[in-house]
Structure 1
């Protein structure tokens, strides 16, 4: 792990700053914030108008003087000041006053695998602006593995796949550390983009903008699986006339459209398995891959991975919040480190 469990037990709150959602866990109180990482501001006076779900609903529907921004991209803070303002409003005045009463306030945060020093520094500066005197960084892969109950501290292989909005991270863990890992710049947003482009080229249809995820509009239920409906009706805007129009889309064609970005994910899994020691790969034949993250719910993704790799693929019970729940378990002291007794001389 990036830091020791003893250091994490001293932290008072934990933050998972994701490209899609921001989650905050407070020691003793549990998960107190789970909102979209979106803020709306007035460009005339710089005032913050809305954050979270209300700000996300404004996307594509605002006048010129209101700008909707996402201060986090790809798990990295790209606008420190706006991220601090967004977090202050999401946490609320009452909880912030409670946290500030703690002597030497400490915080923990998730960072993507192999995040560069500038990205780590941006995360630290964001939480320091909230009053934290010390910030501990934990690899998202480790936190998510703990959150979904994988035995990361044992001398056996655990493979986890974190499906985020901007990137997918795959790793094999053993003895509390990452043995081998890959970060693929393909996530839920790339899948959404592939569907949007397919509808634009095949049906000359433009979907409504980011207020609702294109995937959720295009395919409901188990539409991406072969057992799903053969077609579905889509409402959007005609490319040529600009008028509203409805078309019936073949779901098999949509499945083919999203296979292109997902091929990069399959290649990343193959690289991880090739670089992994044979003994650990043998463990994975029984335990398989654990999928977490918001995009893990993509219908049919687990079946596609199962067919491509030949190993079992499982989806965590609550894939969206595994990373922050893992941080919370470390803060609460629920994770026991592996103790190795020294051999007697």
Structure 2
């Protein structure tokens, strides 16, 4: 964690800019924004038409002069100006006026583990454009661990897995710091892409951009295990004729198709455990892995991890908002650091 708890207590608002959703936490008000990181722009005039959920529903349904953009990709800001415009619209005039009354506005932000200086600088400039005079950066892994109430400040091992849209981050934490960590460039988007490619190659069917999630829901229940639903009907467009068509998809074949991206996540878990000291691994044998992030709700992923590692695997109560809630808890002063008393001779 690059920012201390004392510095975070001075912050007035916190932002978690994710590849899928953007969240804003205001001190004293709680979580005020939880919307998709999407904006719709009129390319003729440059005007911002919609942001958040409304812009996401426009994806794939707009005329040529309206473009749906994502200013955040891979957990990093790729379009600073558009990200600022999107956040201003999401926060709203009332909240922005409240923040402007602060004499020295401070902000906190989550950054993916191992992000390069350019990505961190883009996050800082985005919040400076909103009026922040100082920006504190916190590793997403630590913020997520605090948000799901793990004892990160104690000399005990805790393992957290942040399953995002663009990447999966894993870490073993102890005494408020990261002992070992790994960032795997595989997330929910990779699983969606694997499903789309499977249907295109095996059934010659092109899926609309918003039809992948219903297919994942069809795998619910026992999810990725063989006890899940056998078949499900999917509607899309025929690759050859371009006409609307429905196919009956074998969910077992879909489960096999998404095994490849999920295998990379399992390899990342193994690498983190191999680099971890033996004493901490012994702690993890009892406590296991805590999964957070929106993609943690992928049906059956926890069962796969449990079978591959032999350790307990638990999903946080609200996995999608753990990181921003962790930042909020540190800003509000609900997290107390471990106090070490000086030894007397």
TM-score bucket of the superposed structures, by smaller chain = over 0.9
Say which SS state the counterpart of residue 110 (structure 2) adopts: strand
213 and 269 in structure 1: CA distance in 2 versus 1, 3 angstrom threshold: farther
Task: Select the residue among 212, 215, 236 that pairs with 1:214.
Answer: 212
How many angstroms does 1:215 deviate by?
3.4
Once the two structures are superposed, the pairs formed by residues 1-345 of structure 1 within 5 Å of their partners are 1-209=1-209, 212=210, 214-217=212-215, 219-220=217-218, 221-222=220-221, 223-345=223-345
Distance 2:3 2:290 in 1: 23
Q: Secondary structure of the residue that 1:85 maps to in structure 2? A: helix
Q: Which whole-Å deviations, capped at 9, do the CAs of 1:222-251 have from their partners, x for residues lacking one?
A: 343332211111111111111111111111
Residue 30 (structure 1) shift: 0.3
- Structure 1's unaligned 5+ residue stretches are none
Residue 56 of structure 1, CA deviation = 0.3
Q: CA RMSD in A?
A: 0.9
**Cα distance per residue 1:167-197 (max 9 Å; x no partner):** 0000000000000000000000000000011
Q: Distance in 2 between matches of 1:14 and 1:311?
A: 33
SS at match of 1:261: helix
Distance in 1, Cα, partners of 2:306 & 2:226? 14
CA distance in 2, matches of 1:291, 1:56: 26
Deviation digits for residues 102-148 of structure 1 (CA, Å, limit 9, x no counterpart): 11000000000011100000000000000000000000000000000
For residues 64 and 199 of structure 2, the distance between their equivalents in structure 1, rounded to whole angstroms, comes to 28
Moved more, 241-250 or 290-299: 241-250
* Aligned mates of 1:225, 1:270 — CA distance in 2: 21
Task: Compute the displacement of 1:213 (Å).
Answer: 5.2
Q: For 2:95 and 2:78, how far apart are their aligned partners in 1?
A: 25
1:269-323 C-alpha deviation (Å, 9 max, x unpaired): 1110000000000000000000000000000100000000110000000000000
8 Å CA contact 2:27, 2:331 repeated in 1: yes
Q: TM-score, normalised by structure 2?
A: 0.98
Task: Give the match's secondary structure for 1:202.
Answer: helix
Shift in Å, 1:342: 1.2
The answer on whether the counterparts of 2:217 and 2:299 sit within 8 Å (CA) in structure 1 is: no
Which runs of 5 or more structure 2 residues have no equivalent in the other structure?
none
**SS of structure 1 residue aligned to 2:337:** coil
Distance 1:213 1:29 in 2: 35
Give 3-state SS (helix, strand or coil) of 2:258's partner. helix
Return structure 1 stretches of 4+ with deviation > 2 angstroms: 215-227
Deviation, 1:42, is 0.5
TM-score by structure 1 length? Answer: 0.98
On the 8 A contact 1:14/1:327 being kept in 2, the answer is yes
What is the aligned residue count?
343
State whether residues 15 and 324 of structure 2, in contact with CA within 8 Å, keep that contact through their aligned partners in structure 1: yes
